[in-house]
Chain A
Amino acid sequence: MLMTRRSFTTGLAAAPALVPGLALGQVPVERVFRHGLANGLEVVAIPDHRVPVATHMLWYRVGSADEVHGKSGLAHFLEHLMFKGTKRNPKDVFSRAVTSAGGNENAFTSYDYTGYFQRVVADQLPVMMDFEADRIANIVLTDEVVLPERDVVQEERRQRTDNDPGARLSERLLNRLWGDGHPYGIPIIGWANEIAALSREDALAFYRRHYGPNNAILVVAGDVTPDEVFRMAEETYGRVDANPAIQPRSRPPGPAREVGDRVRLADARVRQPSLSKTSVVRSYRTARPGEAEALEILAQIAGSSPNGRFYKALVTDQGLAVGAGCFYSGSALGDGRFGVYASPRPGVPLERLEAAMAEVAARLAEHGVTDDELARARTRLIAESVYSQDSQASMARMYGASLTCGASIADIQQWPQRIAAVTRAEVDAVARHAFDFSRAVTGELVREERS
C-alpha cells in the first residue's frame, strides 16, 4: 500500500535533481536503470555501493484483489506455500542457501501485489536469482505441507486480527467502505471460514493463472552494477517461459455512495475508544495530474503530529483527545482512501469528539490551508524522499510497490518536483472533497459495558 516517495524514491539521471522553490536546495535522486527481458520480465536496478549487500525482490502483479469470490486469502496462502520447495530445489533448500550466506528473506501480500525478497551479500545475487526464477513456475505442493501451513495462516489471522478489537473494526470498516462486491472490501488475509476451505488445488490454480515472468517485476538494489544485474537476470530469469494465461487486470471504481455509514464495534476489552472517518478518494493511479500529490500534502497538513490541524485542535487546544491524525493511502491500482481519526480523553463522549472533528474538517474545507502550512508540508515530504534513500530495502520496496501499481520510473523520480509544484489552490480544492464527511464511513471503537 505504498506509492509515494515517502519511504522510498527514483532517477535515471546521475546528477542530483534540483527542486526549485524550496528551502532545501538540492534534492538528490537515486539512479535507477531498467531493462526488459524477452519473456516479459521487467528488471529494475538501483545501484547502492555503501555496503557489500544486495536486496533482491521479485514482485508479482497479483494480490488479494485478484482472487475470485469465495476464495479470499488465496493470494496470501499461496505466498506462504511458495516456501515449500520446487522439484529442483525441494523443501527448504532455498531458505538454507539464504541463511547459510547470512541473508534474510521474507515475503508479503497486498491487495495489488505479492513480493518475495532476500537481502544477501552481493556476490550471492546470481544464486538468489537462480532460486527465485525456479520458483516462478516449478513449485511442488503436497497436502503434507499445505495443510499445516493453512493452520499457520489461521493462527496468523487470529494473531493479527481476531485477537485485537481495533483490527477487527478496521476489517469491518473497510468491508463497509468498499462493499462486499469490491475486492478492496475483502481482507487480504481472507475471511476465516474461507481460509479454512482453501486447498492445494486452489493454490496451484491461482499460481498457474497469475505467476509468470510476464507478470513480474524484478527489483535489485545494492552493491552491483546495472549491467551485471541485467546479465545475471538474462541467464536465470531469461530461461523461464512467459505464461500465456496472464491477463491484463483492472480494478472497479469505488462504490457510488450517496450517504455516509457507520460501523461500531463494542468489546469488553476496549480501554481506549476511538473514532475515525474514512472516504474513498483517487489514488496516484486514478487521480487527475497533481490531485494525489495535493492529497498527500493535505494529509500532512491535517494529520502531522503535533502541529497538524486535527492534533492541534482536538488534543492541544481543546483537550478532547489523547491523539488525532489524518492519512492518505494513495498507492493502489484502483482507488485510494483518505481518513481522519482520534482517540478521546477519558470522559469525553464520542459524539462530542465527532462534532469537534467535523468543525476542524469544515474549516479546512471552507478556508483551506495557509502558505506557511503548505511550505512546511512540502519540506517535510521532500526531506523524506532524501531520508528514504538511506535504506536500500525501502528503495527497492518503493519501486516494486509503485511499479506494480502502474507507475513508471519517471513518475517515481519526479515525485519531489511534483510535490514542490503543488499550489495552495490545488490543496484547497481536494480539501473540499476530502473533508466532506457526508459520504464517509465512520468507525467507532467502544467498550462494551456488561452489567
Chain B
Amino acid sequence: MFAAARTLVLGMFAMAALTPTTPAAAQHPASHSSRIERVVSPGGVEAWLVRQTHLPMLALSFAMRGGTAQDPADRPGTASLMAQMLDEGAGDIDAETFHRRLEERAIEMSFSAGRDALTGSVRTLTESRGEAFALLKQALEKPRFDAAPLARVRESVLSGIRRASTNPNSLASETFSATAFPNHPYGRRNTGTLEAVAAITADDLRAMHRRIVARDRLKVAVVGDITAAELGPLLDDVFGALPAGTSLTPVPEIAMAAAGERRVVPMDIPQAIIAFGLPGLKRDDPDFIAAFVMNHILGGGTFSSRLYTQVREQRGLAYSISSGLVTLDGTGLLSGGTSTRSDRAAESLSVIETELRRMGSEGPTTIELEQAKRFLIGNWAMRFETSSQIASNLIRIQLDGFEPDYLDRRNDLIEAVTLEDVRRVAKRLLGDPKLLVVVVGKPEGM
C-alpha cells in the first residue's frame, strides 16, 4: 500500500511481459559465464547451473518451446489452462494432496504458457529438494486433469477474462494484438475467450500436454545450493521419462497489420489509455542490439528517455510512458503506451509521434548514445541478483539460442554499437513511422 514516485509501467502488452526484450551480456566477465556449469545428466538432459551456497535453497526454471501459439484456432486458452492444471493433481496424488505436500515443505511451484513457450519454476529449501523434484516430475509426466479441480481452475480463468474485459489496459492490449495480428495466433488472448475456455475438455488438455511437454524442446536452469554431481541424476529423475514431443504447428511469420490506423474503444474512465506499435525486428536480426539501444534512448526504462522527458517531465501529461521491443518467434514490434488525461490525449499522441519521427530522421546524439551504453552495460549485473531472477534469465538466453558465453559477450555487443548503427536502425524502424494506435477511454479530439 504505497505509492511509488516514478514507477514505470513497462510493456502495455501481454506479449511484452512474456518476452523480455533485454538482450543478455555481462559487466564482470569473471562473475557470469564462468560461474555457469553446463550439466548434462547421465540420460542426456542438459541444465545450466549456477552454484550458490550462501542460503539453503535452490531455484529451478525450465521452458519448453510451444506456447499459446499452439492453441487450436477454436480453442484459444488451451495451453494456458493446461499449464495452470499441472499442479492440480498428478499420478496417484489428487489436487488437494499435491497442494498440501507443497505447503508442508514450503515448496513454491508454478507453470505458465507464454506465446511461444511453456515455462515453469520451482523454489525450495535444500532439504526439501527431493520432494520438490518428485512433485515436479509427477506434474510434468502425469497430470490428471481431474474434473473437480478443472472446474475450479476454469472458473478462475473465466473470472479473469471477465475482469479483463472492462479493464482499460487489458482492453487496449488485446485490441492492439487482435488488430495487429488478425487471423493469427498472436492476435488471440493467451488465456482464451469465455466461449472457448468454457468448451475446453480434459481431452483437449491431454492433447496439448502431449504436444508441448516434451523432453526434446526442454531448457533448464538451476541456481542454488546443489553440486553438478548431485544435479545430474535429479535431472534424469524429473525430466528423463518425458517423451519426445509430437511436432509443433508451425507459427507463420507475420508482419504487423493495420499500420497507420487508429482505433478508439469508448469507455467511461477519467484517462485515455494509449497503446501504440509499429513493425519491429526479431531477436535474430543483426540489428537487434542496435535497436535495443535505440529504444532505450527513445522510451526505455529509465527516467531520462525522450518519451519520458517530453510527455511526463516537461508537460505533465502522464505518470507512466514507455516503449519496448517485443520479439516473438514469428514477429517483432516496437510498441509502447501511456495513460494520459482525456482532454489532452491528442496532444500526448502527437508528442509521441513527433518523438518517433525525430528519432527516425535524426537518430540519437553522441551523448545520448554514450549515456545509454553506460547504463545498459552497468545495469547488466543488476539483473542477476536473486536465484529466481538468474534462473529465468538463463532460460531466456537459452531460448534465444545462445551459449553461456553470451553473458560475457553481451556487453561487448552493446559497447560496439556505433552512432551509425543506431541511426541506420532508427531510420529503418522509424523513418516513416506508421503507427497502429489503440485508445481506450473518452479521448477528446480523436
> How far apart are B34's CB and chain A's nearest CB, in angstroms?
14
- Counting chain B CB atoms within 10 Å of each CB, which of A50, A53, A83, A189 scores highest? A50
B229: Cβ under 8 A from any A Cβ: no
Contacting residues, chain A, for B31 (C-beta < 8 A)? 51-52
B378 is an interface residue with CB less than 8 A from chain A? yes
Beta-carbon contact of A159 and B271 below 8 Å: yes
* B264 → A minimal CB distance (Å): 16
Q: What secondary structure prevails in chain A residues at the interface with B? A: mixed
Q: Chain B interface mostly helix, strand, loop or mixed?
A: mixed
* Chain B residues whose C-beta falls within 8 Å of the C-beta of A389 in the assembled complex: 55
B51 to chain A: closest CB distance in Å?
Answer: 12
Which of B1, B27, B57, B151 gathers most chain A CB within 10 Å? B1
Interface string of B293-307 (1 = CB under 8 A from A): 000000000111000
* Cβ-neighbour of A386 out of B55, B271, B302, B304 (below 8 A): B55
B379 and A103 contacting across the interface, CB-CB below 8 Å: yes
Interface residues of A, count at CB 8 A: 82
A393 to B386, CA, bound (A): 9
B318 touching A152, Cβ below 8 Å: yes
**Interface contact B96-A316, CB-CB below 8 Å:** yes
How far does the alpha carbon of A387 sit from the alpha carbon of B320 in the complex, in Å?
Answer: 31
B110 CB–A CB distance under 8 Å? no
Kindly state the separation between the CA atoms of A272 and B317 in the bound complex, as whole angstroms: 31
Q: Assess whether A188 is in contact with B316, with CB atoms less than 8 Å apart.
A: no
Contact among B1, B148, B155, B339 with A322 in the assembled complex (CB-CB below 8 Å)? B155
Task: Output the least CB separation between B143 and chain A (Å).
Answer: 16
Q: A188 and B3: CB pair below 8 A?
A: yes
Counting CB contacts under 8 A, is B5 at the interface? Answer: yes
B14: interface (CB < 8 Å):
no
Bitwise interface map of A from 305 to 338 toward B, beta carbon under 8 Å scored 1, else 0: 0110000000110010011000001000000000
CA distance A189 to B151 in the complex (A): 40
- A103 to chain B: which residues have CB within 8 Å? 378-379, 382
A119 vs B389: C-alpha distance when bound (angstroms): 16
What 0/1 readout, one digit per residue, does chain A (155-169) give for beta carbons within 8 Å of chain B?
Answer: 110111011100000
Given the interface pairs A53-B381, A152-B318, the reply to whether A386 lies near B374 with Cβ below 8 Å is no
Contact status A160-B3, CB under 8 Å: yes
Say if the beta carbon of B354 comes within 8 Å of chain A.
Answer: no
Q: Does B438 contact A (CB under 8 A)?
A: no
Binary CB contact string for chain B from 94 to 108 against chain A (1 if under 8 A, 0 otherwise): 011001100111101
Segment of B72-80, B159-167, B238-246 in the binding face = B159-167
Flag if A307 contacts B100 (CB, 8 Å).
yes
**B378 and A102 within 8 A (CB):** yes
* With A102-B376, A163-B270 as contacts: A380 and B103 at CB distance below 8 Å: yes
In whole angstroms, what is the CA distance A392 to B387 when docked? Answer: 11
**Please, what's the 1-or-0 string for B57-89, where 1 marks a CB less than 8 Å from any CB in chain A?**
100000000000000000000000000000000
Query: Can you name the residue of chain A whose Cβ is closest to the Cβ of B223?
Result: A390
The minimal Cβ–Cβ distance linking A446 to chain B, given in whole angstroms, is 13
Contact of A306 among B99, B108, B303, B371 (CB under 8 A): B99
Comparing A37-45, A106-114, A360-368, A425-433, the segment that makes contact with chain B is A106-114
Residue interface bits B346-382, CB-to-A below 8 A is 1, else 0: 0000000000000000000000000100111111111
The distance in angstroms between the C-alpha atoms of A382 and B28, with both chains bound, is 34
Q: Is the CB of B319 within 8 A of A307?
A: no
- Report whether A149 and B316 are in contact in the complex, using a CB–CB cutoff of 8 Å: yes
Task: State how many angstroms separate the Cβ of A341 from the closest Cβ of chain B.
Answer: 13
- Taking a contact as CB atoms closer than 8 A, the residue among B5, B27, B318, B380 that contacts A80 in the complex is B5
Q: Which residues in chain A, 389-413, are within 8 Å of chain B measured between CB atoms?
A: 389-393
Residues of A near B267 (CB, < 8 A) are 269
- Find residues 1-60 in chain B having any chain A CB closer than 8 Å to their own CB: 1-7, 27-28, 31, 52, 54-57
Q: Does B312 contact A (CB under 8 A)?
A: yes
Contact of B375 with A272 in the complex, beta carbons under 8 Å: no
Closest to B88 in A: A306
CB–CB B315/A148 < 8 A: yes
Chain A positions within 8 Å of B4 at CB level: 106-108
Contact indicator B3/A109 (Cβ below 8 Å) = yes
Q: A26-B56, A158-B270, A387-B123 are in contact. Are A99 and B371 (CB under 8 A)?
A: yes
With A156-B319, A322-B155, A329-B1 as known contacts, state yes or no: A162 contacts B103, CB within 8 Å: no
Residues of A within 8 A of B152 (CB): 315-316, 319
A376's partner among B103, B163, B386 (CB-CB below 8 A) is: B103
**A383 / chain B contacts, CB cutoff of 8 Å:** 106, 125
Which chain A residues lie closer than 8 Å to B384 at the CB level?
51
Which residues in B have their C-beta under 8 angstroms from that of A393?
385
Given contacts A188-B3, A307-B100, A393-B385, A163 and B379 within 8 Å (CB-CB)? no
Instruction: Give the size category of B's interface with A.
Output: 35 or more
Contacts A316-B152, A323-B156 given; indicate if A51 touches B381 (C-beta within 8 A): yes
> Contact string, A27-71, partner B, CB cutoff 8 A, digits 1/0?
010000000000000000000001111000000000000000000
* B127 at interface by CB-CB < 8 Å: yes
**B412: interface (CB < 8 Å):** no
Write out the residue numbers on chain B whose beta carbons fall within 8 Å of the beta carbon of A382: 106
CA of A92 to CA of B380, assembled, Å? 22
CB contacts (< 8 Å) of B163 on chain A: these are 271-272
Is A304 close to B, CB under 8 A? yes
B253 at the interface (CB under 8 A from A): no
A51 to chain B, nearest CB (A): 6
Q: What residues of chain B lie closer than 8 Å to A279, measured between beta carbons?
A: none
A451 within 8 A of B: no
- Provide the residues of chain A in CB contact with B1, threshold 8 Å: 1, 110-111, 188, 329
In whole angstroms, what is the CA distance A377 to B369 when docked? 51
Assembly CA distance A28 to B382 (angstroms) = 24
Chain A, residue nearest B384 (CB): A51
Contacts of B96 in A (CB 8 A): 306-307, 316
Would you call A268 an interface residue if the criterion is a C-beta within 8 Å of the partner chain's C-beta atoms? Answer: yes
Q: Is B341 an interface residue (CB 8 A)?
A: yes
C-alpha gap A451/B375 in the complex (Å)? 55
Q: Choose one: B162, B302, B339; the contact of A159 (CB below 8 Å).
A: B339
- Compute how far the CA of A162 lies from the CA of B441 in the bound complex, rounded to whole angstroms: 13
Question: Considering the chains assembled together, what is the distance between the CA atoms of A50 and B28 in angstroms?
Answer: 12
Bound complex: CA A393 to CA B166 (Å): 34
Pair B52/A386 contact, Cβ less than 8 Å = no
Closest A residue to B411 by beta carbon equals: A102
Is A76 positioned at the interface, with any CB of B under 8 Å from its CB? yes
Shortest Cβ distance from residue A168 to the other chain B in the assembled complex, whole angstroms:
11
Interface membership of B268, Cβ < 8 A: yes
Question: How far is B371's CA from A375's CA once the two chains are assembled, in angstroms?
Answer: 53
Check if B183 is an interface residue, CB within 8 A of chain A: no
The CA of A28 and the CA of B387, in the complex, are separated in Å by: 16
**Within 8 Å CB of B5, what residues of A?**
76, 79-80, 82-83, 106-109
Contact A307 B99 (CB under 8 A): yes
**Taking A24-B125, A109-B3 as contacts, is the C-beta distance between A163 and B168 under 8 angstroms?**
yes
Q: Report A-chain residues with C-beta under 8 Å of the C-beta of B155.
A: 322, 345
- Complex CA gap A108/B5 in Å reads 6
14 more contacts with CB within 8 A, not counting A99-B302, A383-B125, are A82-B5, A92-B304, A102-B379, A103-B379, A110-B2, A151-B315, A152-B319, A155-B340, A306-B96, A322-B155, A322-B159, A376-B103, A387-B57, A390-B388
CB<8 Å pairs between A and B, sample of 15? A80-B5, A80-B6, A92-B303, A96-B304, A100-B375, A101-B374, A104-B302, A104-B382, A108-B2, A109-B3, A159-B320, A319-B152, A376-B103, A392-B385, A393-B385
**Chain A residues with a Cβ under 8 A of chain B:** 1, 23-26, 28, 50-53, 76, 79-80, 82-83, 92, 95-96, 99-111, 119, 121, 147-156, 158-160, 162-164, 188-189, 268-272, 304, 306-307, 315-316, 319, 322-323, 329, 343, 345-346, 375-376, 379-380, 382-384, 386-387, 389-393
Kindly list the 3 A-B residue pairs having the minimum CB-CB distance in the complex, ordered from nearest.
Answer: A102-B378, A151-B316, A383-B106
Q: Which residues of B contact A (CB under 8 A)?
A: 1-7, 27-28, 31, 52, 54-57, 95-96, 99-100, 103-106, 108, 123, 125, 127, 148, 151-152, 155-156, 158-159, 162-163, 165-168, 267-271, 273, 302-304, 312-320, 339-341, 371, 374-382, 384-388
